[in-house]
Amino acid sequence: MHKVKPGVVENPARRLKLGTAIIPVVIGLGVVAYLLYSEFNPDAFSLINFTWRSFFWILVAILFMAGRDIGYTLRLVTLTDGKFNFRKAFRVIMLWEFTSAITPSAVGGTSIAIVYVNKEGLNLGHSSAVVMITSFLDELYFILMFPLLILLVGASDLFGIAAENSSIIRELVIFSVVGYSVKFVWVLILSYGLFVNPRGLKWLLMIIFKLPLLRRWKHGANRAGTDIISSSKEYRRKPFSFWAKAFGSTFLSWTSRFWIVNALLLAFFTIDNHLLVFARQLVMWIMMLVSPTPGGSGFAEFVFTRYLSEFIPVDASAIGAIAVGMALLWRFVSYYPYLFVGAIIFPRWIRSKFLHGEQGK
């Protein structure tokens, strides 16, 4: 059995296989194929015309996706106090998103991200603190925005849908409540661990690194926990401007991502209530937390067709087929690029950081 020396970070490729990237593609396209088959209407797509307006708004959607990545990259530069330049931070974000895309939504790429940040130059404890703070900021966004949007758009509009789909919507409400509850509890744990009792967070870290996927790195986790305690003291002394920049970039990232569907819908249709479309996307991401599939594949496409189809102003007989097509376009813009980019940079990064013996350059 391969043993890892204390404090040494093991090659994540031993447990994270590149071929796994095929799984979410197969699941997502499989669900889309099934939905197209069940909703097939050859006349439906005659209602969609590609014009210069279509290309413009699809480009805007891509720019929103770029804004999401830029925001995440700037946040990582801020949280590392400039130790990561923009290029290095962007590389870590792409690796991180690739890992998230090929693991279940409930697992995500957070644990492996600690390895990415560590191998780019931060000690293991500082890396753990940075990754946990990014998780804290992400979940804080949802914790704050979800009740705010309920106040702005109303709970009935946020979850209201045709009576014949009431059973589906009840299930989606349950998913969103469970997902929000998990996020809320996680924010409380991280807040307490990072800013009140970092020793308790060290204990949690040790529990996490007992998971089968991370067990080989548990020897370094104890040392990382000790480093987190010192890093926590450092972050607690940060000025308000530091946290404002960190949360501001988080706000940019998630808000840009949620405007993508608005832009894609505008490419083909006229939309009246953009805020409601935005709000429902946020709820969709909360629901996806409980999805067991990699990157929410299949589940995301299904929820899109059932939860956002009412914003597509076409005849009821055509709505199903068009909604499936829009769901596929949405995933091509906001999800599949991370699989393709990650499949390119992940092997090169592994060779650079592990096979060639480079340490955090």
Q: Of 90, 116, 98, which is closest to residue 18 (Cα–Cα)?
A: 98
Helix axes 22-38, 299-307, angle to 10 degrees: 40
Rounded Cα–Cα distance for residues 320 and 182 (Å): 32
Q: Tokens 């895309």 belong to which residue?
A: 101
Q: How many residues does the chain have?
A: 361
Res 358: pLDDT: 47
Rounded Cα–Cα distance for residues 58 and 266 (Å): 9
Long-range contacts of 150-159 (CB under 8 A, 24+ apart): 150/279, 152/275, 152/279, 153/273, 153/275, 153/276, 153/279, 157/276, 158/276, 158/279, 158/280, 158/283, 159/283
Token pair for residue 145? Answer: 């925005």
Average pLDDT by stretches of 10, the chain with 361 residues: 43 51 55 52 60 91 94 95 93 87 60 83 82 88 91 79 57 77 84 80 74 66 67 81 95 93 88 87 76 58 72 68 77 82 80 60 41
3-class SS of residue 212:
coil
| Helix locations, 120-217, DSSP H | 124-153, 155-159, 166-195, 198-208
Token pair for residue 155? Answer: 């709970």
Res 84: pLDDT: 93
- Residues with Cβ within 8 Å of 46's Cβ and at least 6 positions away in sequence, in order, are none
Res 314: pLDDT: 66
Res 172: pLDDT: 67
Q: Tell me the backbone φ, ψ of residue 294, rounded to 5 degrees.
A: -60, 125
Q: Of 93, 287, 12, which is closest to residue 171 (Cα–Cα)?
A: 287
